[in-house]
Structure 1
Amino acid sequence: MSASSGHPAADGVRSLAEPLAAEAGLVVENVTVTPAGKRRVLRITVDLPETELGGVPMESVAQVSQAISQELDSSNVMGGTPYVLEVSSPGADRPLTERRHWLRARRRLVRTIAAPGATPRTGRLTEVTEAGIVLDEEHEVPWAEITGGRIELEFGHPDDFADLEADEDDEDEDEEEN
């Protein structure tokens, strides 16, 4: 289950936001309500479902932000205290804490956070199973050995190189035709 802050309004906001996020093809990852002077900051983090790879489209974040704002304006979920609404996606440095996070990170370079007595591992995440994860197509790491993980940021991700190679092949064919 995704996290919510201990603030009483967070659960109400989550209930209101989840169907609106689903309409935009997103899931609610986290809801926090933080005091900020005479007002509060309401932060809602949305993400793609586990089956989709890639980043969250900003158009989807804008769509769900507007829908949540309208619903909050017509409800009493946040009470009478003023608040600022922030809707965002988790970003590349998000912790991998749930199975769906690992599913979304397939093909990425990841580092595991090891459970006590286990060894941390780094490798390309090639598979996510009921039993655990597979790194570099050969190293199986059971869930019992993992307390979390992180995506290792790469400059020049292998998928980027595949696109470049395809572009270069197209250019070579064009030159041969002339």
Structure 2
Amino acid sequence: MSTTQSERLRELLEPLVTSQGLDLEEIAVDSVGRKRVLRVVVDSDTGADLDRIADVSRALSAKLDETDAMGEGEYTLEVGTPGAERLLTEHRHYVRATGRLVKFQLTEGGELVARILTVDGDGVDVEVPGVKGRKPTARRLAFGDIARARVQVEFNRKDDTSHKKEEEA
């Protein structure tokens, strides 16, 4: 049996989120003054648009209203996605980050910023950008060698020409 409120909430809400075709990534209950905020983070391999977020939010709200999972006090439900600079903690997170630039903190110390090319059960194949005119290099990282990984925001990806092709058409 679950011992914490977050675990109990996960057991209650995860089947509902899964039935909506989404993964329950995170649940957090925070106090903001006298009120509590229940933050639920959801995602899927294809992402979660605003309509899907609204649908799952309504379903979660109804489920919470019919139970006493949040107790008697007032609370606010916030449902969202992980955000641009998500922390990669599950295998599916790495798969979803394929093609993205990621900052890896390695278990042996040091950092590496590289683009995820492929992901399998043992680790990731990455491309380390070239420095000062050098060509990028390929590297293999086993999951055991990764202490922490976080997606990086890219505003001007130099090799992304898809927007130029659309503009020319």
Q: TM-score under structure 2 normalisation?
A: 0.83
RMSD in angstroms over aligned alpha carbons? Answer: 2.2
More helix by share: 1
Residues 144 and 8 (structure 1 numbering): CA distance in 2 closer, same or farther, change over 3 Å?
Answer: closer
> In the TM superposition, what is the alpha-carbon distance from 1:152 to its structure 2 partner?
1.6
Contact 1:16 1:68 (C-alpha < 8 Å) held by counterparts: no
Which digits, 9 at most, give the CA deviation of each residue in 1:58-80, with x for residues without a partner? 21111101110011111111111
Cα distance in 2 for partners of 1:120, 1:38 equals: 41
> 2:37 aligned with 1:37, yes or no?
no
Cα distance in 1 for partners of 2:77, 2:85 equals: 22
The letter of the residue matching 1:65 is S
Q: TM-score under structure 1 normalisation?
A: 0.79
For residue 174 of structure 1, what is the aligned residue in structure 2? Answer: none
Which digits, 9 at most, give the CA deviation of each residue in 1:14-66, with x for residues without a partner? 12221221222211111111223333111111111xxx25x421211111011
For residue 53 of structure 2, what is the aligned residue in structure 1? Answer: 61
Where do 5+ consecutive residues of structure 1 fail to align? 1-5, 171-178
> In the TM superposition, what is the alpha-carbon distance from 1:167 to its structure 2 partner?
4.6
Contact 1:110 1:125 (C-alpha < 8 Å) held by counterparts: yes
The letter of the residue matching 1:143 is F
Q: What secondary structure, in the 3-state scheme, does the structure 2 residue paired with 1:78 have?
A: coil
Match of 1:71 among 43, 55, 63: 63
Contact 1:96 1:148 (C-alpha < 8 Å) held by counterparts: yes
The letter of the residue matching 1:12 is R
> 2:93 aligned with 1:101, yes or no?
yes
Which digits, 9 at most, give the CA deviation of each residue in 1:122-157, with x for residues without a partner? 121101122211112821011221012111211144
> 2:79 aligned with 1:83, yes or no?
no
Contact 1:30 1:44 (C-alpha < 8 Å) held by counterparts: yes
Match of 1:47 among 43, 48, 57: 43
The letter of the residue matching 2:51 is E
The letter of the residue matching 2:123 is G
Cα distance in 2 for partners of 1:97, 1:20 equals: 22
For residue 16 of structure 1, what is the aligned residue in structure 2? Answer: 12
> In the TM superposition, what is the alpha-carbon distance from 1:159 to its structure 2 partner?
8.1
